Amino acid sequence: MTKVVVAMSGGVDSSVAAALLKEQGYDVIGMMLRLWSEPGKEDSNRCCTPDSMAQARRVAAKLDIPFYVIDAKDVFHNTVVQYFLDGYARGETPNPCLICNRQIRWTFLLDHALALGADFMATGHYVRIRKAENNYQLLRAVDKSKDQSYVLHVLNQEKLARALFPIGDYPKTEIRVIAEKFGLPTASRKDSQDLCFLAGDDYRNFLQRNAAEMLQPGEILTRDGRFIGEHNGLANYTIGQRKGLGVASLVPLYVLGKNSTTNTLIVGTQEELGSRELTAREVNWLSGETPSEPFHADVKIRYTAKEAEALVTPIIGNQVQVQFDASQRDITAGQAAVFFQGDLMIGGGIIL
Amino acid sequence: MPAMIYLDYSATTPVDSRVVDAMRPYFSNSFGNPSSVHRYGQVAEAAIDSARETVASILNCRPDEIIFTSCGSESDNLAIRGAAYAMREKTGAKWILAARAEHPAVTKTLSHLEKYEGFLIEWLDVDASGMITPEIVSRAICENTAIVSVMYANNEIGTINPIKEIAEICKANHILFHTDAVQAAAYLPLDVESLGVDMMSLGAHKFYGPKGVGALYVRKGTPLISHLTGGGQEFSLRAGTQNVPYIVGFAEALRLTNEERDQRVTHVKPLRDRVIGTVLETIPDARLTGHLESRLPHHASFAFKDVDGNLLLTLLDAAGFACSSGSACKTGNPEPSEVMNAIGLSREWGLGSLRVTLGVHTTPAEIDSFLNVLPQLVQKARILK
């Protein structure tokens, strides 16, 4: 029998993923990772609270599948949390979920799944895989409002060959119906943009506790170099931010950029926001091959951003230049730019 | 569940079908309350009396020295709390001696007495094999020592303590001596006269009896204050309507254990010896935990360097083998156990513990296939780390 490990969260999506695979005749094993939380706040990581663990255990019992929890605290801290801190130290707004998907879920957990003798690993992500002639393709979910392909642009052919995404073909409403049919809990884990290890706290408080040394006060300047105030650490600001600048001005001011070398925050008016181009590094091509020609694509620059049409030009050093047809607000270094053609994901990289 | 091989008899055992048969009449047919005056009550009471006599004859004590409880942990609680309060009242003594390698039913109870009741606990060091020697006890006692509690055999590492010698020291110094014999009962002699103990805890599910029933032996004259108060059941030491079918099951399971002890030892010991020998031979950076000779005959326990013990259990389970570990936890948050710390294992060894415990249903073929896969799984666990 084909063996598959399902990464379970206790929520409706991964529970239904497990139930569907079981129904399709797979030999299903449930797994959950024990992730890192701040010292003194143990058990607070949103991805593995005692509640969600108990819930996943109940689902596994209901489906009559084995369930194991694997300790990933150290590896999660050393890769994901460290990446988060390093990103802010560089003046970026990092997206640690990307690293988590690449290093933790689709490397650490996948290695454990394979060690257990699994042929595949499945998650409750809203995304689809299609086996094309000689490779695997990653497609956006049928339910566009739930599509999670953005955070999975880090996958490669080797991992896609092992991946199953059983719920990407269904709209969310139907997932709830299926959950009810199987007698599974129907509650979703609250959709949250917060990072799991922040446990609901503001990331600024987290930085204050864990990397206070990077929060050095510095100058707030306009684009033409006019001094207009002091900031309390670059990491406290993100591109496009308007509130909390603490400077008096006749017109509303927005964060335009950060210069970590000079520790200055650049601000300006709404008209100054936005750009028609970006460069991205560490680009991953889902097909495994770098396109030889520039190509047109729909480009998404944040998890929640709407796609925008652009010309994507691969350049040396595993980078791309992206020329948008129209100016884009809030292009933020550290977030990913991900390229689609229709539902097909082409690739993505980290915005410089 | 697919075919699994169960090698975790120290966690619990399947109930012997003969025990189930003995219990069955006392659920719906002879269901009376043993405290009732009428004949329903008389039948139930007779069943408990008979069970108590059976247990007493095996322990070589009087029936009224046996208190039935709900589990081994409750027996430990009754013994330690009950004697601690009574001794404080009687003599003012409030020192209690025990090892950190004791079962949590003992260590957590003592920590509780220390924190909330003002008792003074002296934690004894075990030697590298996990043993409490008579010398360790001799050195530690003083005239204010009220109780010494030393387990008969250790659950995690199988080491058997010299209970008889320790009991002699306690007796000579007028100190109450309690032993947790929950792990020992399936294989070791339980004659309390020969052992010389004042109190001894037992739990039925470690010797093919049901979960949810235990017993405490209390030597006549031992001062003890009840902590489950209410009716006068169990000589006013443990209130609450007795769990008649489970008490009957306890006695039948102990009777069979006593009767078949020699053949059970003869069955498991050679298999266990093969486990120890082969593991140490075939797996690099492996060591036996606990004593080599003075150990329970069904018990093998190891530490593997640089292995996540929890992950090893997961790999074993997926491969069809049920074992346990000193750092076992279902939440993926492993810490070396107190026992691993107490025998002086560093973290890199202490996190990689494995306990393999055999029983009456274990077959040579099962041990073969276990020994066949374990080296690869330890290797896998090391690579994943």
B104-117 and B72-91 helices, crossing angle to 10°: 40
Same domain? For B53 and B170 the reply is: yes
Give A76 or A43, the one with higher predicted confidence.
A76
Mean pLDDT of B113-127: 96
Same domain? For B247 and B342 the reply is: no
Same domain? For B318 and B362 the reply is: yes
Mean pLDDT of A46-71: 92
Q: CB-based contact (8 Å) between A53 and chain B?
A: yes
* Nearest CB to A69 within list B318, B331, B383: B331
As a whole number, the mean pLDDT across chain B is: 96
Domain boundaries for CATH 2.40.30.10 within chain A? 275-351
Q: Provide the residue range defining the domain that includes B147.
A: 17-257
Domain boundary pick from B239, B257, B275: B257
Same domain? For B208 and B295 the reply is: no
* Predicted pLDDT of residue A194: 76
Strands (E), chain B: 5-6, 66-69, 95-99, 120-124, 145-149, 176-180, 199-203, 214-218, 286-288, 299-304, 321-322, 353-357
* Predicted pLDDT of residue B154: 96
> What is the least distance, in Å, from the CA of B154 to any CA of chain A?
27
For B318, the 3-state DSSP assignment is helix
Mean pLDDT of B91-95: 90
* Predicted pLDDT of residue B2: 63
Q: CB-based contact (8 Å) between A51 and chain B?
A: no
Verify whether the Cβ–Cβ distance B315 to A66 is below 8 Å.
no
Q: How confident is the model at residue B341 (pLDDT cuts 50, 70, 90)?
A: very high
Same domain? For B129 and B196 the reply is: yes
Which residues in chain B have Cβ-Cβ distances shorter than 8 Å to A73?
333
Domain boundaries for CATH 3.40.50.620 within chain A? 3-198
Domain boundary pick from B231, B257, B283: B257
Same domain? For B232 and B318 the reply is: no
Same domain? For B233 and B346 the reply is: no
> What is the least distance, in Å, from the CA of B205 to any CA of chain A?
24
Same domain? For B193 and B52 the reply is: yes
Verify whether the Cβ–Cβ distance B314 to A72 is below 8 Å.
no
Which residues in chain B have Cβ-Cβ distances shorter than 8 Å to A110?
none
Instruction: Give per-residue pLDDT as tens, B39-84.
Output: 999 999 999 999 999 999 999 999 999 999 999 999 999 999 999 9
* Predicted pLDDT of residue A193: 62
Which residues in chain B have Cβ-Cβ distances shorter than 8 Å to A34?
331-333
Same domain? For B220 and B246 the reply is: yes
Mean pLDDT of B316-329: 86
Amino acid at A308: A
Q: What percent of chain A has pLDDT over 90?
A: 81
Domain boundary pick from B198, B224, B257: B257
* Predicted pLDDT of residue B329: 63
Instruction: Give per-residue pLDDT as tens, A80-104.
Output: 999 999 999 999 999 999 999 999 9
> Which one of A8, A35, A71, A121 makes the best mutation probe of the B interface by having the most chain B beta carbons within 10 Å?
A71
**Based on the number of CB atoms within 10 Å of its own CB, is B214 exposed (0-12), middle (13-18) or buried (19 or more)?**
buried
Q: Considering only the top CATH level, what class is A275-351? A: mainly beta
Q: How confident is the model at residue B334 (pLDDT cuts 50, 70, 90)?
A: confident
Residue of chain A minimizing CA distance to B311: A70
Q: Which residues pair with B98 in a beta bridge?
A: B123, B149
Domain boundaries for CATH 2.30.30.280 within chain A? 216-272
Amino acid at A105: R
DSSP string, B224-259: ---SS-SS-HHHHTS-S---HHHHHHHHHHHHHHHH
Same domain? For B205 and B266 the reply is: no
Instruction: Give per-residue pLDDT as tens, A149-200.
Output: 999 999 999 999 999 999 999 999 999 999 999 999 777 666 556 789 998 8
* Predicted pLDDT of residue B100: 87
* Predicted pLDDT of residue A51: 87
The count of other CB atoms within 10 Å of the CB of residue A216 is 12
Q: Cβ distance A7 to A121 under 8 Å?
A: yes
User: Per-residue pLDDT for B110 more than 80?
Assistant: yes
As a whole number, the mean pLDDT across chain A is: 93
Q: How confident is the model at residue B1 (pLDDT cuts 50, 70, 90)?
A: low
pTM, two decimals, is 0.90
Q: What six digits make up the tokens of B187?
A: 């294989």
* Predicted pLDDT of residue B310: 92
Q: Considering only the top CATH level, what class is A216-272? A: mainly beta
| Candidate from A109-118, A241-250, B339-348 with smallest mean pLDDT | A241-250
Q: Cβ distance B167 to B195 under 8 Å?
A: yes
The set of residues, in sequence order, having a beta carbon less than 8 Å from that of A299 and lying 6+ positions away, is A307, A308, A309, A310, A312, A322, A324, A337, A338, A339, A340
Q: How confident is the model at residue B104 (pLDDT cuts 50, 70, 90)?
A: very high
Same domain? For B234 and B332 the reply is: no
| Candidate from A10-14, B188-192, B282-286 with smallest mean pLDDT | A10-14
* Predicted pLDDT of residue A246: 81
Q: Considering only the top CATH level, what class is A3-198? A: alpha beta
State the total domains in chain B.
Answer: 2
Is A47 known to be catalytic? no
Q: CB-based contact (8 Å) between A70 and chain B?
A: yes
> Residue B93 and residue B84: Cα distance in Å, rounded?
8
> Residue A192 and residue B126: Cα distance in Å, rounded?
50
Amino acid at A11: G
Q: Strand A218-222 to strand A127-131: parallel, antiparallel, or no bridges (unpaired)?
A: unpaired
Same domain? For B26 and B100 the reply is: yes
* Predicted pLDDT of residue B90: 92
Which residues in chain B have Cβ-Cβ distances shorter than 8 Å to A111?
384
> What is the least distance, in Å, from the CA of B381 to any CA of chain A?
8
> What is the least distance, in Å, from the CA of B99 to any CA of chain A?
29
User: Per-residue pLDDT for B332 more than 80?
Assistant: no
| Chain B residues with at least one Cβ partner in A under 8 Å | 1, 308, 310-311, 314-315, 317-319, 330-334, 380, 383-384
Residue of chain A minimizing CA distance to B316: A116
User: Per-residue pLDDT for A38 more than 70?
Assistant: yes
The count of other CB atoms within 10 Å of the CB of residue A341 is 12
Verify whether the Cβ–Cβ distance A66 to B318 is below 8 Å.
yes
Nearest CA to A203 out of A244, A173, A236 is that of A236
Instruction: Give per-residue pLDDT as tens, B215-234.
Output: 999 999 999 999 999 999 99
CATH number, domain with residue B357: 3.90.1150.10
> Residue B315 and residue B370: Cα distance in Å, rounded?
12
